């Protein structure tokens, strides 16, 4: 099976933790830690198609902003994200498949984190921060 045989059913934010300690403008760096992906394979899908199975992918990426020469972050944003994919029930999704295609799921997780994080931060004094897609 190829990634093109997989269909995204849903991407959702499960939880958001945001902390901002500095409110004045400044320059610095942003560190993003995506962490490990958690996979859950099998089970039903959010459709009524009995010929499909699901893959649930979860992660909790964290973005932290630091001022120059300061070790404590000025802000941190953690987003718990879950993505659900469907695939044909007659295909095999095992540990080897997940290892070989982690790049695919990681890439999508990073893209969704970018969109979610920028959308959340636009409602704060941190409006304008842009994250890389990958």
Confidence of residue 70 (pLDDT cuts 50, 70, 90): confident
Residue 4 CA to residue 23 CA, distance in Å, equals 44
Judged against a pLDDT cut of 90, whether residue 81 lies above it is answered with yes
Average pLDDT of 46-52?
74
Split at pLDDT 50, 70, 90, the class of 64 is: very high
Token pair belonging to 44: 């039903």
Q: Which of 80, 77, 79 is nearest to 125 (CA)?
A: 77
Q: Which CATH architecture has domain 3-121?
A: Roll (3.10)
Among 38, 62, 59, residue whose Cα is nearest residue 109: 59
Per-residue model confidence as pLDDT tens digits over 86-131: 999 889 899 999 999 999 999 999 999 999 999 999 998 888 888 8
Mean pLDDT of the region 21-33: 84
């Amino acid at each position: 099976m190829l990634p093109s045989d997989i269909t995204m059913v849903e991407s959702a934010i499960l939880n958001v933790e945001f902390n901002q300690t500095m409110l004045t403008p400044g320059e610095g760096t942003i560190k993003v830690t995506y962490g490990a992906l958690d996979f859950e394979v099998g089970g039903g899908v959010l459709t009524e198609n009995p010929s499909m199975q699901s893959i649930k992918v979860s992660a909790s990426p964290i973005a932290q902003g630091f001022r120059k020469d300061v070790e404590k972050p000025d802000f941190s944003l953690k987003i718990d994200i879950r993505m659900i994919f469907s695939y044909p029930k007659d295909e095999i999704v095992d540990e080897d498949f997940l290892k070989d295609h982690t790049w695919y799921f990681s890439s999508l997780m990073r893209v969704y984190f970018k969109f979610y994080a920028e959308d959340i931060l636009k409602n704060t004094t941190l409006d304008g921060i842009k994250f890389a897609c990958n």
